[in-house]
Structure formats: C-alpha cells, structure tokens
C-alpha cells in the first residue's frame, strides 16, 4: 500500500476537473445559485461547488476549517500532539500486552473504515506499513535512493514486518485500541482525505445543501445534480501519460450521489543505479517489497469516499491479476466499482473496469 502523511501529493492523480468539464448552462427556475468555496486543508487544497439560496459562505468556510482542525487533532501524524501521534508513541506494557489506548469518535470511525478496507482488499490495504514505506525511501524519513536497493534485503524486510500488521490491533467496544507490539504505528493518510470529504458532505446536508461537488486533495463526492444543466456532476481521471506540467484528462466520470478516489504510481518512483530496476512507492504489505507494476492508476467509485480512498490504495498494492479478481468481487458484493489504467506487455495504455461502469 501507499504510505505518507497529510501533505500535498507530488504526483497528483486527479485533475481538479469539474471546472474544465462543464456543460453549457441552461435556464432553470430553482432560486439556488452556484457557489464556490476553496482553500487549504490537511496539507493540500479543497474546492467545493454547491447550489444554495441563502446560507452564509463565511459561516460555511468557518465550519470547514473547524472540521479539518478536529481531524488534524485526531489523526494527523504531522502534529505531535494529535491522538494518533500519542498512540504511535504509546508503548506502556501491561501484563502480556500493550495497555489499551482511548480513542475519540473520529479516530474510531476511521479505524473501522480502515478495517473494512483491509478485509475488502484481502489485506492489501494496511495502515501499519509506514516503517516499510520509510525504509524503501518513500516516506518522510527518506534514505539515499542510490543505497536503498542494496540496504533493504530480505532480512531487513522480515525484521520490520515483525511489528507490522493491521491484524495486530484490536478495537474494544469501549473505543479503546490495543496493539500487540509496542513499535506498531498507524498512518491514516490513505483514508483521511476521503474521510474529510465525507465529513464536509455530512455538514452540507445538515444545513440543507443537497446539490454539491466536493474535492479535497483529489478525492471527490458528487451529490444531487448540477441544477443549471440538470445533469450529474462530471469529473475527470488524470491521463497517466502526461507530465505534471501538461496534465490532461483520460476519462470523464459522472458522479451522482457517489464518491471517487484515485491512487497511482506513475510519477513517484526511483531507479536502482546499478540494475536500472524501477521501484515504485507502492509497497506490498504481504511481501514487504516495493515492486515494478504495470498498473498506472486505480480509481474506485463508492458511496463512501473514505472507503473508496482506502480501497483504491489497497488495490494498487495488489498484483494485477489479484486486483482484477478483487475488483470484480467488490462490484458484485459491495457496490464498489473500479476503473484501472495499466500497461500491457507491449507497453500500450489499456483499461480494466468492472462491468457496472457504463462510461
């Protein structure tokens, strides 16, 4: 899976495309007008389009800031005083296991969503993999790229895997979390942005806004329709063949009462200076290895943006054939659909998508 913190991605996967993928406006009688809020949060940017008659934009902006502050205080590993930072540092021994740690509601909900994603992706989504991400040179504690391939031998991987594993955590009914190894740490970067989309969506609906499009750090949710066109919100998936400076849209996606999250590995990688082997930032939690992959990006469409975010990350870590099997199962059993851009053996761009996707 992919590791990291709350910071703006250097390899943006989704174009902020709802400004560019627009339809010709038509007359409509609804008194609500299209409004736009944007700003910075969670080390990235957010942008919200919504139809509203009379709510205060200032009050809404203030509410969004408050939501993000609460999320940071709970699960941001960038804040030493956050709950997750305290949990990661917590190693008090109590009999034969680590003492339980009291969580807040946000932390508990994100943990439960992560647990579900872990199960749905057959273990490929694992929020405990941070130490391996760092060891491979893709986390905040970067090694020198030229030395990584030689340094990270099987013995090193095995030693790190000894205290990794989402199954080594147990959530008690009292919202207390128990970890079975003192060095076990959590990183919810791969689910937190999607979760923040869900929180903002819930707030908008609480104050009566039911036609909106939310984007936070590339993760999206569209609710209702564009009232001026009477059509679903339309967003885009990045073209993986384009550079950051010349980004384009590969696929247009309509979103109506749905969320979409995308993970990709086509920009963040390094090559071993001796072998020339490409190493991507996707770490397989089952083997502990960074490996080359023909999958360029995975987009997941689901009702819940946090779950879509986590599942996209997990599927990207799976071998391609396993990815297709898991995605097909998800579409059938869990109302989660998947759109994959990959390279075939001739290095041609191809698409795999679950059968329910009609675009």
Contact yes or no for 261/305 (Cβ under 8 A): yes
Higher pLDDT, 168 or 11: 168
Q: Give the DSSP per-residue string, 52-112.
A: ESS--HHHHHHHHHHHHHHHHHHH-TT-TTSHHHHHHH---EETTEEPPEE--HHHHHHHH
Does the residue 335 lie in any domain?
yes
The pLDDT value recorded for residue 161 is 86
Does the residue 40 lie in any domain?
yes
Residue 290 has pLDDT above 90, yes or no: no
Phi, psi (rounded to 5 degrees) for 91: -140, 25
CATH code, 208:
3.10.520.10
Residue 1 has pLDDT above 70, yes or no: no
Residue 6 has pLDDT above 70, yes or no: no
What span, in angstroms and rounded, lies between the C-alpha atoms of 309 and 121?
Answer: 12
User: How would residue 272 be classed by pLDDT, with cut points 50, 70 and 90?
Assistant: low
User: How would residue 18 be classed by pLDDT, with cut points 50, 70 and 90?
Assistant: very low
Contact yes or no for 156/290 (Cβ under 8 A): no
Does the residue 12 lie in any domain?
no
Contact yes or no for 326/316 (Cβ under 8 A): no
What span, in angstroms and rounded, lies between the C-alpha atoms of 254 and 225?
Answer: 10
User: How would residue 348 be classed by pLDDT, with cut points 50, 70 and 90?
Assistant: very high
pLDDT tens digits, 135-189: 776 665 544 444 444 445 677 788 888 889 999 999 999 999 988 888 889 999 9
Return left, alpha or beta for 94; rule: phi > 0 is left, psi -120 to 50 is alpha, else beta.
beta
Does the residue 181 lie in any domain?
yes
Least confident window among 7-11, 20-24, 104-108: 7-11
What span, in angstroms and rounded, lies between the C-alpha atoms of 48 and 43?
Answer: 17
The pLDDT value recorded for residue 58 is 92
User: How would residue 218 be classed by pLDDT, with cut points 50, 70 and 90?
Assistant: very high
Which sign does the torsion angle of CA 118, 124, 125, 128 carry?
Answer: positive
What average pLDDT does the structure give for the chain? 84
C-beta neighbour count of 335 within 10 angstroms:
13
Strand partners, 280: 269
Contact yes or no for 77/89 (Cβ under 8 A): no
Higher pLDDT, 284 or 215: 215
Which sign does the torsion angle of CA 321, 112, 2, 20 carry?
Answer: positive
Residue 8 has pLDDT above 50, yes or no: no
What span, in angstroms and rounded, lies between the C-alpha atoms of 41 and 64?
Answer: 9
Helix (H, G, I), strand (E, B) or coil at 231: strand
Which H or E element spans position 20? none
Does the residue 124 lie in any domain?
yes
The pLDDT value recorded for residue 7 is 47
Compute CA distances 279 → 226, 230, 317, 324, whole Å: 42, 45, 13, 22
What span, in angstroms and rounded, lies between the C-alpha atoms of 267 and 263?
Answer: 11
Residue 322 has pLDDT above 70, yes or no: yes
The pLDDT value recorded for residue 282 is 74
Does the residue 154 lie in any domain?
yes
Residue 19 has pLDDT above 50, yes or no: no
Does the residue 9 lie in any domain?
no
Per the structure, the count of domains in the chain is 1
The pLDDT value recorded for residue 269 is 56
What span, in angstroms and rounded, lies between the C-alpha atoms of 49 and 235?
Answer: 12
Q: Domain of residue 138: give its range.
A: 17-353
Mean pLDDT, rounded, for 248-275? 80
Mean pLDDT, rounded, for 228-246? 87
The pLDDT value recorded for residue 98 is 56
Phi, psi (rounded to 5 degrees) for 75: -130, 20
What span, in angstroms and rounded, lies between the C-alpha atoms of 126 and 124?
Answer: 6
Percent of the chain with pLDDT over 70: 79
Q: Dihedral through CA 292, CA 322, CA 339, CA 246, nearest 10?
A: 0
Per residue, the 3-state secondary structure of 339-359, as one string, reads EEEEECCCCCEEEEECCCCCC
pLDDT tens digits, 36-81: 999 998 889 999 999 998 778 999 999 999 999 999 999 998 888 9
Does the residue 278 lie in any domain?
yes
């Amino acid at each position: 899976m992919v590791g990291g913190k709350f910071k703006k991605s250097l390899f943006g996967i989704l174009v902020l495309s709802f400004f560019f993928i627009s339809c010709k406006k038509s007359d409509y009688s609804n008194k609500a007008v299209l409004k736009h809020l944007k700003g910075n949060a969670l080390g990235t940017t957010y942008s919200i389009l919504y139809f509203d008659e009379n709510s205060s934009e200032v009050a809404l902006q203030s509410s969004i800031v408050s939501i993000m502050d609460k999320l940071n205080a709970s699960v941001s590993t960038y804040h030493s005083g956050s709950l997750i930072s305290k949990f990661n540092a917590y190693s008090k021994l109590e009999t034969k296991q680590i003492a339980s740690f009291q969580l807040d509601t946000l932390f508990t909900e994100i943990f439960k969503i992560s647990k579900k994603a872990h199960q749905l992706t057959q273990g490929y989504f694992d929020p405990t993999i941070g130490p391996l991400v760092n060891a491979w040179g893709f986390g905040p504690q970067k090694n020198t790229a030229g030395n990584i391939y030689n340094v990270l031998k099987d013995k090193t991987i095995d030693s790190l895997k000894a205290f990794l594993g989402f199954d080594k955590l147990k959530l008690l009914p009292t919202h207390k979390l128990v970890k079975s190894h003192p060095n076990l740490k959590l990183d919810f970067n791969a689910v937190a942005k999607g979760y923040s989309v869900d929180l903002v969506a819930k707030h908008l609906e609480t104050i009566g806004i039911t036609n909106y499009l939310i984007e936070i750090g590339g993760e999206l949710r569209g609710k209702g329709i564009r009232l001026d066109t009477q059509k679903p919100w339309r967003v885009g998936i990045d073209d993986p063949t384009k550079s950051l400076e010349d980004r384009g849209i590969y696929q247009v996606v309509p979103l109506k009462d749905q969320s979409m999250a995308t993970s990709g590995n086509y920009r963040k990688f390094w090559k071993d200076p001796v072998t020339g082997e490409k190493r991507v930032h996707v770490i397989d939690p089952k083997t502990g290895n960074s490996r080359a992959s023909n999958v360029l990006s995975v987009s997941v469409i689901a009702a819940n943006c946090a779950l879509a975010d986590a599942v996209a990350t997990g599927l990207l870590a799976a071998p391609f054939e396993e990815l297709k099997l898991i995605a097909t199962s998800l579409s059938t059993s869990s109302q989660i659909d998947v759109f994959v851009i990959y390279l075939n053996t001739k290095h041609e761009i191809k698409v795999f998508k679950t059968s329910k996707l009609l675009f």
